Structure 1
């Protein structure tokens, strides 16, 4: 009972602070059979706030970015606001993009677990963190090139971002078409196709997959992963995962994101915290249409680096987990 009360506090914060639900708005709660209790809490909270609340329950998808049934896609497009605690992400789908284009506000929770709503990662000042996120977003928007390195020199790669606009995900979705996946609050930018060059050591997490305990090196050339270090267990697991998609575009680099949640922690077994921990960086590969890339794939994977140094043109923007712009 106490756990449900704690969850309801976070659920209420999401509907009030993040979505700003108003009476009579059409709120769609989209969940799957693995997350039905959480979906029911959101539906109850929506009804308490006077929203026209619709609860849709689907079979869990098999991977992030898998397209949704057409009946759900149509409901998403008609909604004023959507909250989606699901096993896999609905973000990298045409259904989500059409809903956003139609003006729906969307908070989504891929890898949803009840612990996410009780561990403090949703108990933050979203407005304060939004200020930091937007500072980095403006730096990306004004920049031409990003270089990512590490203190030990193991990571060193660069991307071209000329003309690309960042995608800030502050957790605040008050205006039509905005999206965010708290507790992963971040800003992200898509590289120009084919521009990523260098090496990256993945020492944080693979999403989906979990915490990395044996760091592995990726070599990137022409915007693609061309070599994976499989000498360790985590490298082998990742190589097997990406191959399992059966899509050559899954090797394409489509996103560079910075996690900015001060209460998120890698290793709790919650995907959104793995990529949302403050000061970490994640490389998104695969489907990139929701970040402004032209690359489409059957799924999306994020690869987390714990202590990146991020340089935008000639300015160090992030170092030692501190935002410097």
Structure 2
């Protein structure tokens, strides 16, 4: 048992060094703030220890709010990150869509979203998906973004029955691979291509068979109907009712807006329901983000944001197939 704990601690330290050295690329003259919650203090201390190897100015902020409402404080205190050149959001849930994060990024600070919530009791920093080659993910993202950015309509289908049409006129795609420099100042541990889709136009059927954000794995696929950009109907299965209750707890109809298309790029990740970030990063999956998308380049405000993940999509950008059964393909050239 002692050897197992020692091995897990070693993996957690390895993940923390990847975050500080490779993703955040903390410099000696940069002042870093690590934001965490009470149930992740041990991991935050490991991150602080690793950060101290590169900078002496490292502060720790422990927030009281837990779960999906953790962002409320950072919406009402937009200037809380002023004075820091780097911010690491290591709470349960992502802070990247909050107003404080948006202000920090606009002011030129580095911001890395590192949601640490897991469903199996293990530290996310110890997960194998932290080892993904960021250069490879950047190359994969470039292939997909080339076609997404030259299109205005995206169509996604799966063999289970997903059939969604999304619109993205004047909405350029972006990508996360952990590395804040590649993200022009901010990034996320979720390695993916994202599109802040037009918030009032998505229509069709989504059949999740991967995971439901922080809720965890989907044991039985179910049906979600979208119209005019919003979720209008959730099939009343056991997991469907759980999703409805979860969304209603935001106390904001805006959480029902489909505001993001995400495509996982992490070939080390598995969609098992153990980690929200791993699930949505897994290569061979796509996700629909609901709720706020202002940090992604959209215009929709809401009390939160989370992702609904499905597997093995066929994805078309203006009728050109760019992904088949979850695998990136190169479309044949179109001549006019």
* TM-score, L = length of structure 2: 0.90
Unpaired runs of 5+ in structure 2?
Answer: 1-5, 331-336
User: Residue 10 of structure 2: which of 5, 9, 24 is its match?
Assistant: 5
Q: Is the 8 A contact 2:74 2:80 kept in 1?
A: no
User: Residue 312 of structure 2: which of 290, 297, 307 is its match?
Assistant: 307
Q: Is the 8 A contact 1:12 1:45 kept in 2?
A: yes
- Give 1:204 deviation, angstroms: 0.8
2:89 match: secondary structure: strand
Higher mean C-alpha displacement, 236-245 vs 70-79: 70-79
- Give 1:151 deviation, angstroms: 2.8
Give 2:285's aligned residue. Answer: 280
Equivalent pairs counted in the alignment come to 322
**Pair 1:225–1:268, CA change in 2 (3 A):** closer
Give 2:22's aligned residue. Answer: 17
Give 1:221's aligned residue. Answer: 227
Give 2:197's aligned residue. Answer: 191
- Give 1:70 deviation, angstroms: 7.8
Give the 5 Å matches for 1:17-56.
Answer: 17-56=22-61
Separation in 1 of the partners of 2:69 and 2:234?
21
2:231 match: secondary structure: strand
* TM-score, L = length of structure 1: 0.93
- Give 1:77 deviation, angstroms: 3.4
Give 1:115's aligned residue. Answer: 123
**Pair 1:247–1:221, CA change in 2 (3 A):** same
Higher mean C-alpha displacement, 287-296 vs 202-211: 287-296
Tell me how large the CA RMSD over aligned residues is: 2.0
Unpaired runs of 5+ in structure 1?
Answer: none
Q: Is the 8 A contact 1:65 1:93 kept in 2?
A: no
User: Residue 247 of structure 1: which of 252, 260, 273 is its match?
Assistant: 252
- Give 1:60 deviation, angstroms: 3.4
**Pair 1:155–1:176, CA change in 2 (3 A):** closer
Q: Is the 8 A contact 1:106 1:177 kept in 2?
A: no
**Pair 1:64–1:282, CA change in 2 (3 A):** farther
Give 1:169's aligned residue. Answer: 176
Q: Is the 8 A contact 1:172 1:180 kept in 2?
A: yes
